[in-house]
Structure formats: structure tokens, C-alpha cells
Amino acid sequence: MFHKEGFKIIIAAFFITTLMSLGAEYLIDLVYIKKGIQVLALVLLVVVLQFFRNPKRATPKNDKHIIAPVDGKVVVIEEVFEKEYFKDNRLQVSIFMSPINVHVTRYAIGGKVIFSKYHPGKFLVAWHPKSSEENERTTVVLENKYVGQILYRQIAGALARRIVNYAKVGMEVTQGEDAGFIKFGSRVDLFFPVGTKIKLELNQVVKGGVDCIAEM
């Protein structure tokens, strides 16, 4: 199953793969060059297909649990000052997505969208300290009566050139549902109240829509 945000790119990739393969077959006489081009075309198609895959996930819904919004590796767990929305100290958890991870963003809790904003910006590598403040990004705040308010931020990386965010202010959302996509990128930051019980460790690999990362 593939994400709807990738349909146009997948169709284009199929067209380019076919064109390259047929062109090599009929225009190139040297077998090793012909086969090399055809293998390269197939590899590029496979890379595009795996990037836009959208596996179904059975989310164990729990109003007091915060689940991982994306697949990836936990690269930050620290107390920071969140200056865009809360303007106070928060516990930050950051998940880095490599090019081979699923890049679907899912709602970490069920509840109401109370803030959603897009920021144009740079395309620094996702692990750069300034990427969460200077890169292209979206900021979304969700609220329910059990967890209160949490903020998540989709951040583009060096390869990412488009962030898709479905969260609109006033929407009622369901935990684990599709919240957006980061095309060819790269990191999601989450901000919780200080004292939130974190249920993961630095460098841990998490699965979006499935793994509980914090509990109120």
C-alpha cells in the first residue's frame, strides 16, 4: 500500500524506468552498459516505491498514552525552552527518519487540533542543532482532557522539499490516523509537559502509530 502523496511521483518513476529500460534495450549495443542502465532504473523505482509505502498499523488507542508519530530513531530526549507556542520549559523528544523509514506522520494522541502553522525555511541536515528553528517545518498542537496539550513539529531535512500537514485548527482527530507526510525527509520533534513519564531511551528505534513513547 502506498501513500496518496506519492502517486504522481510513483507514476513518473514508472514512466522513467520504462523509458530508460527500453532506450537501453534498443539504442545501446554493449550488453554490460545496457544491463547496467536497466538495473539502475529498476533500483531507482524500488527506492521510490519503498519511500512512499504506507503500511497499515493497528494502533492500541489509549487516551493517556502518547504514541510515536513516525518511524525512526530517537535522537533527542531533553528539557528545553519551547518558544513558539508554550513559551516555557518542555520535555522534547526528537525522532529522526532515515531515507529507508516510512515517512507517514500519524497523530500521537486523539483529540482536537488547537494550533497549526507552516514555516518556510532552510534545508539543513535534520540532526543539525538549528534545524528545528531554521528549517522548513510545521507546528501542530493537539489537546485532550487526559494528556492536556502536546506539540509536534514536522521538520524537513537536507533532501526534503515538501512537508504535507493535514491538521487544521478545530479538527477532531483520532490517535494513529494519518496526519501528513514529509517527502524525502526527515525529523519530528515532540514537546510534552515537564515531568511526563517517557517510555523510551536515546537511540531507541520506534514504530509510528504503534509504540507508546510517553504516558500521562
Per residue in 16-71, pLDDT (tens digit) is 999 999 888 888 888 888 899 999 999 988 888 887 888 888 898 899 999 999 99
Domain range summary for the chain, segments of one domain joined by + = 4-51, 65-215
- In this predicted structure, the answer to whether residue 146 has a pLDDT above a threshold of 80 is yes
- In this predicted structure, the answer to whether residue 99 has a pLDDT above a threshold of 90 is no
Q: Per this entry, what is the length of the chain?
A: 216
Give the predicted TM-score (pTM) of the model: 0.84
Q: Say how far residue 183 (Cα) sits from the centre of its chain.
A: 8
Which band of pLDDT confidence, cut at 50, 70 and 90, is reported for residue 134? Answer: low
| Average pLDDT score over residue span 105-111 | 96
Pick the CATH number of 65-215 from 3.30.2000.20, 1.10.1040.50, 2.70.70.10, 3.30.420.10: 2.70.70.10
Answer positive or negative: Cα dihedral of 61, 65, 66, 68.
Answer: negative
Nearest Cα to Cα of residue 142 among 188, 190, 200, 180: 190
What percentage of residues in the chain have a pLDDT greater than 90? 57
- In this predicted structure, the answer to whether residue 131 has a pLDDT above a threshold of 80 is no
Mean pLDDT of the chain: 88
Grid cell digits, residue 6: 506519492
Query: Is 186 tagged catalytic?
Result: yes
Residue type for position 42 = L
Candidates 21, 131, 132, 186; catalytic one: 186
Residue predicted with more confidence, 151 or 30:
151
